Amino acid sequence: MPATEPATEPAVSQSLTVVVNEVQELLRRVGDGQAEALEGVATALTDATAVFVHGAGRSGIALRSLAMRLMHLGLTVHVVGETTAPAITRGDVLLAVSGSGTTAGVVRAAETAASVGARVVAVTNASDSPLSRVASLTLLLGAASKTDRSRSASEQYAGSLFEQAVLLVGDAIFHTLWRRSGQTAEAIWPRHANLE
């Protein structure tokens, strides 16, 4: 029989406060401690011939949100594994996300990208990981790992805080690039999907 914690019945509003507080604290630390890396990611994305994004599970889903927004800006963006994604080449960037930095498929893709001369940008919690070692730039989020069940780094389950940070950091990067581009909301709207 699986182990259970003592039964508690928090209100959803209490859980929402936990999530908001954890995200706020983590993003404050990232903004303070990783400002140079954040700017480096923004520059790498805009300097790339094409941007490829890759992540597994929920991290990958969060990263796809940034891919969509970069497309709205007019960048050429591909999601690794989609049937329409071409080969990555020199001049391209692979934005690779893995909390542990050890996700096998993500690390293999990063190694392939580096071997053809593409730039690898990693988003991870682990500075000394296979993904970080192959990357030319690493953004460290410092969230709880999905295997940390101590609840000391986060009360949330299985890496949720990392995935939330990927989504929100992606939105902040998009917002920055959008404002820098000078494009109006009306100008980028025609790139929004119309086959929904």
Q: Which residues are catalytic?
A: 163
Give the whole-angstrom CA distance, residue 140 versus residue 182.
29
> What secondary structure does DSSP assign to 127-146, as a single string?
SSSHHHHH-SEEEE--PPPT
Buried residues in 9-38 as b, exposed as e (16+ CB within 10 A): eeeeeeeeeeeeebbeebbeebeeebeebb
Q: How many whole angstroms from its chain centre is CA 167?
A: 6
- Write the CA distances from 52 to 55, 86, 124, 153, integer angstroms: 10, 9, 16, 31
Asked whether the CA dihedral 146, 152, 157, 161 is positive or negative, the reply is: negative
Asked whether the CA dihedral 49, 71, 165, 56 is positive or negative, the reply is: negative
Phi and psi for 121 in degrees, rounded to 5? Answer: -115, 120
Q: Which amino acid is at 111?
A: E
Contact between 58 and 175 (Cβ < 8 Å): no
